[in-house]
């Protein structure tokens, strides 16, 4: 048995020990590691720009969701793009209420359930269906992102205002017969969007499942200009062929070549 073999064996054992100890080491630093459908998931706490404590989900190196930790902020929206979406939905819900009807909303992708929690707490005239493909993510949202607390406080699941579905969101949408007033596409695997949100087929499917006057809201992770803007450009071209109006609310208005979570709105 030569020295090279011995050293290779020792190094291999050390690496195995490090990997085995990694969850324990992360937990000592306040980080929880688990496996979800789309890979290694880290849950940890930090602060946002103004010092407010937050909890985050990171999947395979990409941030998926964030929520505030102070008791009075559990159902508030920490992300700018979610606030833009909530503003559109809130205005449409108020208009629907004036006409004596409830706004029907589909949210594709639950993650930490930030937007659904907000709608359950603050937009009572919206009936929201949330479709999340990974039961592990829903469990995380229930236990660590205050989803169960929201359901208890608002009663939104019991009175039918919030419906939770574990399924493939794109397939679920295509099986529905009744149109939605709002379809939200917030489904991501790491940094990659799920569903054909960039294609002509995707635009046609979404348009076919929207009521007249309805809106499609998508989180498009892309730059708005430059070499990293291809995703947003493809979305605008595909949906522009099916919808009367399309616009983008950029995350980084003053830095258009910087990738961000941009809100794409088609009406």
Sign of the alpha-carbon dihedral angle for 68, 85, 177, 209: negative
Q: What residues contact 102, with CB distance under 8 A and at least 6 apart?
A: 96, 125, 126, 127
Dist CA 148 CA 50 (whole Å): 27
Domain interval for residue 116: 80-266
Domain count of the chain? 1
Kindly state whether residue 231 falls inside one of the protein's structural domains: yes
Kindly state whether residue 257 falls inside one of the protein's structural domains: yes
Q: What residues contact 233, with CB distance under 8 A and at least 6 apart?
A: none
Kindly state whether residue 49 falls inside one of the protein's structural domains: no
Its pTM stands at 0.87
pLDDT of residue 2: 54
Dist CA 7 CA 13 (whole Å): 10
Nearest to residue 151, comparing CAs of 113, 115, 120, 177?
120
Dist CA 131 CA 209 (whole Å): 15
Q: pLDDT (tens digit, 0 to 9) for every residue of the chain, 267 residues total?
A: 555 544 555 454 444 444 444 453 344 456 888 888 888 999 999 998 899 999 999 988 778 899 999 999 999 999 999 999 999 999 999 999 999 999 999 999 999 999 999 999 999 999 999 999 999 999 999 999 999 999 999 999 999 999 999 999 999 999 999 999 999 999 865 455 545 677 889 999 999 999 999 999 999 988 999 999 998 999 999 999 999 999 999 999 999 999 999 999 999
pLDDT of residue 25: 39
CATH of the domain at 225: 3.40.50.150
pLDDT of residue 20: 42
Dist CA 201 CA 134 (whole Å): 24
pLDDT of residue 30: 64
Dist CA 148 CA 161 (whole Å): 15
Kindly state whether residue 161 falls inside one of the protein's structural domains: yes
Kindly state whether residue 41 falls inside one of the protein's structural domains: no
């Amino acid at each position: 048995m030569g020295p090279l073999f011995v050293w290779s064996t020792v190094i291999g054992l050390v690496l195995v020990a490090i990997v085995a100890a990694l969850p324990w080491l992360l937990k000592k630093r306040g980080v929880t590691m688990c496996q979800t459908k789309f890979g290694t998931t880290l849950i940890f706490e930090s602060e946002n720009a103004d010092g407010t404590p937050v909890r985050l989900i990171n999947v395979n190196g990409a941030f998926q969701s964030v929520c505030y930790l102070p008791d009075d902020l559990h159902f508030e929206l920490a992300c700018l793009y979610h606030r833009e979406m909530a503003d559109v939905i809130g205005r449409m819900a108020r208009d629907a209420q004036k006409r004596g009807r409830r706004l029907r909303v589909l949210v594709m992708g639950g993650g930490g359930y930030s937007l659904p929690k907000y709608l359950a707490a603050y937009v009572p005239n919206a009936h929201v269906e949330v479709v999340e493909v990974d039961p592990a993510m829903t469990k995380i949202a229930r236990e660590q992102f205050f989803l169960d607390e929201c359901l208890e406080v608002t009663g939104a699941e019991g009175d039918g205002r919030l419906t939770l579905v574990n399924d493939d969101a794109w397939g679920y949408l295509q099986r529905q017969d009744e149109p939605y007033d709002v379809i939200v596409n917030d489904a991501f695997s790491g940094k990659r969007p799920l569903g054909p949100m960039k294609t002509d087929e995707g635009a046609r499917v979404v348009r076919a499942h929207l009521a007249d006057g309805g809106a499609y809201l998508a989180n498009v992770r892309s730059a708005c200009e430059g070499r990293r803007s291809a995703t947003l450009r493809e979305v605008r071209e595909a949906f522009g062929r099916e919808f009367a109006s399309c616009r983008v609310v950029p995350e980084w208005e003053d830095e258009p070549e910087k990738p961000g979570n941009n809100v794409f709105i088609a009406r």
